[in-house]
Amino acid sequence: MTAANQSPSTSLKRAEAEARFELLDVASYDVHLDLASDEATFRSVTTLRFTSRGGATFVDLKPLRVNEIRLNGSPLDADLLERGRLPLATVEGANELVVDAVMRFRNDGEGLHRSVDPADGRHYVYGMSFMDAAPSIFACFDQPDLKAPYTFHVTAPSDWVVVGNAPSADPEPGAGNTALWEFEQTQPLSTYFVTLVAGPYHVIRDHHDGIALGLSARQSIAKDLDADADELFTMTRQCFDEYHRLFGIRYPFGDYHQAFVPEFNAGAMENPGCVTFRDPLVFSSRVTRGVRIQRASTVAHEMAHQWFGNLTTPKWWDDLWLNESFAEYMGNRVTGDVTEYGDVWTHNSYARRQWGLVADQRPSTHPVAGNGAADASSALQDFDGISYAKGSSILKQLNARLGDEVFFAGVVDHFTTHRFGNATMHDLFASWERAAAQRASAVDLSTFTSNWLRTAGPDAITLDRAAGVVRRTPPADHPADRSHTLRVATARPQGGEWEVDTLSLAAAETPVAVVGGDAVVLDPFEDTWAVAQPDPTTVAALTALLPTTADPALRAGIWNNVRSGFHNAAVAPAAVVELLVAGLPSEDTDDAIFYTLPWTLREVVPMTTDPAAAMDRLHAVLVEKATGAAAGSTLQLAAFQSAVSTATDAGQLRSWLAGRVLPEGLEVDLDLRWRMLVQLATLGETDREELQRALEAEPTARSRVEHSRAMASLPDAEAKAWAWARFTGEVDVPNYELEAAGLGMWRAGQEHLTAPYVERYFAEVPATVEVRSGWNLADGADSFFPVTAVDEQTVALARALLADAEVDASIRRRVVDATDDLEHRLAVRRAFPTV
């Protein structure tokens, strides 16, 4: 038995992937996993069959230790394994590699993640093979364009259920208290799609149109999954019918199981046959309509991936947008067209627009397509608002230009030509151009591709009222000549009706007629991708106009204009607060509150002259809104959630916590209870003993996370040291608890306690690469960034760190983005000084 080299692994570079692709054709994987012998490790035996043109290459492998490796029957020295790679001297023709290794279960949401449910002590496992993680489960050629079919054989405890990418027969009894699960061979898959979900999961099954459907979740939330099952199955059926109608190509991966798994890093992962979701999407407490829309669009998004990404897969990560932008666009479109959530685009406006626009204005911006991903690790950082929200918006524009007939004809041609294979952006655009030519509507999409998909950054669209023009300004570092067609809403300042006109911008300046003090909102319905922000006259008029604006989509567009203006120091913090105080009473969608208030509390209120007074004003309006909203409505719930987050009176919070003086229609459930406890912790009005009692009373996974947030939020030195021990890895915690500790640590008003950790963050964050990797490494760097240290010294420390070329790419990206946010807040402070 040989110990594996434990140095950090090397992320695959594009040139290496191209060389390996030219050398190899992978025929099949046969994988035996023993999940029953040990709670810390599992045995993995991989038989990998491939043909080679003959020559040297390597296989990806990240074991705890190696038992044996054989290539074409001859043993290989496991000591040659270095940084996750084992050199191979292949022969021309057929080759067979057998790797017998012991792997470590992980707790960071990657590889084969194993967690213990604090509610009942049961163990649960799931696989996340995305971006460099597959080799910690099985030996593989880990790149998206070396697809192959997989056959899995899994030994598991006899009381476990095991689900994978392909259907399985009923398990056979194994040795001791185990069972053997034999899975059918899959369709050809990229390594990053491979998954297993194993444990004593609660499973619900159904069928639709010849497809076996399944849902699963932990036993402790079984009743919640049962309550949600009808909605989830209904949406799944509706989406399958619509995708089949739009594409004319049936779902090709056998069963369709949706597994809600604990401590999942992403929202979901589109593994063929077995999609994994973060299990907070099984609702254990009351949620707003917006949260239900988010879940519905996520379900539809992952279903779109079965075609966009799974059936036809990007050849390399620079075309990841072929997965995410399409799934984002199609997920929203299908959700809006065929489910009960026809208002999904308004929800999307609140939930996703600023995520994409802010990302696109940062120094780390990148093109939607052809993002230049040099390796898999750096590509992971580009799964951001650009690849999702911006890409989706541009595809929506392209659909409007081509029309549905050409758009979907091109998509179907793309799927058919590259079925179970790989393709590039150029392949897809060639399919669209062929589809247009066949319908006598030939188009040349090269200019569109160059300006919108291959050039980073958004144009800024602003009104110059004095000059009577709308200006279109491309970003200085990313020049482009983009034409925009958008709508413009105008209204008289004192409660006038909004008038909507269409405006085409084909030059740097476009004349417009503006009357006196009219409010002018540019692109309120998000017809294009650009940063639109209101001029001062409009901001002043909106306080009177917003309360009488009935169109939810227009209200969302107004708020995105305001948020962009604030981000770029063109709208004062005080003006944002005034607009909220004026507009909140008339809001009739919970999204407006659910997404606007957290942003306001996090970024706007600390920039006001008197943050405490601003908080009290917002709190009073929110309490009034929660009291006046329809009892039991999700609008009431959203308002009350924000009322809790703005409360500064411990007595009021205690009364609510005890169930007294609550607005009619509300009850204190697990979510509200922990919201109140976290707020009491932030105010210093609870202690560790009460928080521990609350955790012990309801020892759920959600309680564990919120307990971490509350503990880190306490205003004393012990709490900050407690959180910091998790950041450095001195105390090892699962991913959700790590993130909660970081977000709880940096609280406005506690700067005297966190000041010593500002320099420590920049000194110690590089070493976190020794205790975390991948997604978790980046999230740790992000959640512990000193967001409340808004001063030039913090910026200087960040720049000094970024000057070090040795800093890990994942850490670097998060620090670059967080520093850019910090510099924008400093710009707001300079533009609107508080003293």
Q: Which residue has the tokens 């910690």?
A: 136
| 624 noted as active-site residue | no
User: Are residues 146 and 249 both part of a single domain?
Assistant: no
pLDDT confidence bin for 664, thresholds 50/70/90: very high
Please state the rounded mean pLDDT for residues 245-263.
97
Q: 196 forms bridges with which residues in the sheet?
A: 164
Report pLDDT for 475: 94
Given a cut of 80, whether residue 571 has pLDDT beyond it is: yes
**pLDDT mean across residues, the chain:** 95
User: Are residues 354 and 324 both part of a single domain?
Assistant: yes
CATH at residue 66:
2.60.40.1730
Given a cut of 60, whether residue 2 has pLDDT beyond it is: no
Report pLDDT for 374: 75
Could you say which of 403, 427, 458 is where a domain stops?
458
User: Are residues 230 and 177 both part of a single domain?
Assistant: no
585 in any annotated domain: no
User: In the structure encoding, which two tokens stand for residue 283, read together?
Assistant: 């609702």
586 in any annotated domain: no
Given a cut of 70, whether residue 5 has pLDDT beyond it is: no
Given a cut of 80, whether residue 372 has pLDDT beyond it is: no
Report pLDDT for 6: 41
User: Are residues 111 and 216 both part of a single domain?
Assistant: no
User: In the structure encoding, which two tokens stand for residue 376, read together?
Assistant: 């898999």
Q: What share of the chain is helix, strand, coil (3-state, %, to 5)?
A: 45, 20, 35
Could you say which of 458, 489, 524 is where a domain stops?
458
User: Are residues 230 and 368 both part of a single domain?
Assistant: yes
Q: Which residue has the tokens 């959600």?
A: 702
User: In the structure encoding, which two tokens stand for residue 576, read together?
Assistant: 């944002």
Closest C-alpha to 620, from 593, 651, 647, 591: 647
Would you mind telling me the total number of residues written for the chain in this entry?
Answer: 835
User: Are residues 834 and 715 both part of a single domain?
Assistant: yes
User: Are residues 290 and 343 both part of a single domain?
Assistant: yes
pLDDT tens string 701-724: 999 999 999 999 999 999 999 999
pLDDT confidence bin for 444, thresholds 50/70/90: confident
CA atoms within 13 A on the CB side of 826: 15
Given a cut of 70, whether residue 390 has pLDDT beyond it is: yes
pLDDT tens string 482-529: 999 999 999 988 767 899 999 999 999 999 988 888 999 999 999 999
Domain count, the chain: 3
Given a cut of 50, whether residue 1 has pLDDT beyond it is: no
CATH at residue 261:
1.10.390.10
Is 788 in contact with 757 (CB distance < 8 Å)? no
664 in any annotated domain: no
Q: Which of 302, 526, 587, 706 is catalytic?
A: 302
- Burial (CB count within 10 angstroms: exposed 0-12, middle 13-18, buried 19+), residue 360: buried
CA 770 – CA 791 distance, rounded (Å): 30
529 in any annotated domain: no
CA 264 – CA 269 distance, rounded (Å): 9
Could you say which of 426, 441, 458 is where a domain stops?
458
The string of DSSP codes covering 638-684 is HHHHHHHHH---HHHHHHHHTT-SPPTT----HHHHHHHHHHHHHHT
User: Are residues 169 and 261 both part of a single domain?
Assistant: no
pLDDT confidence bin for 442, thresholds 50/70/90: confident
794 in any annotated domain: yes
User: Strand order of the sheet with strand 469-473?
Assistant: 509-511, 469-473, 459-464, 530-532
pLDDT confidence bin for 834, thresholds 50/70/90: confident
β 268-269/274-278 pair status: antiparallel
User: Are residues 98 and 215 both part of a single domain?
Assistant: no
Listed in sequence order, the residues at least 6 apart from 749 whose beta carbon sits closer than 8 Å to its beta carbon are 715
303 in any annotated domain: yes
User: In the structure encoding, which two tokens stand for residue 551, read together?
Assistant: 């169109």
CA 486 – CA 560 distance, rounded (Å): 15
User: Are residues 134 and 246 both part of a single domain?
Assistant: no
Report pLDDT for 835: 64
pLDDT tens string 105-155: 999 999 999 999 999 999 999 999 998 899 999 999 999 999 999 999 999
User: Are residues 170 and 217 both part of a single domain?
Assistant: no
pLDDT tens string 419-434: 999 999 999 999 999 9
Report pLDDT for 379: 74
296 in any annotated domain: yes
Residue 135 gets which letter from DSSP?
Answer: G
Q: 26 forms bridges with which residues in the sheet?
A: 50
The string of DSSP codes covering 512-567 is ----TT-EEEESTT--S-EEE---HHHHHHHHHHGGG---HHHHHHHHHHHHHHHH
Report pLDDT for 242: 98
- Domain holding 76, by residue range, is 1-200
pLDDT confidence bin for 371, thresholds 50/70/90: low
Given a cut of 90, whether residue 551 has pLDDT beyond it is: yes
410 in any annotated domain: yes
CA 536 – CA 393 distance, rounded (Å): 27
Is 111 in contact with 137 (CB distance < 8 Å)? yes
User: Are residues 264 and 138 both part of a single domain?
Assistant: no
Given a cut of 90, whether residue 780 has pLDDT beyond it is: yes
Is 346 in contact with 379 (CB distance < 8 Å)? no
Given a cut of 50, whether residue 4 has pLDDT beyond it is: no
Given a cut of 50, whether residue 387 has pLDDT beyond it is: yes
Q: 530 forms bridges with which residues in the sheet?
A: 459
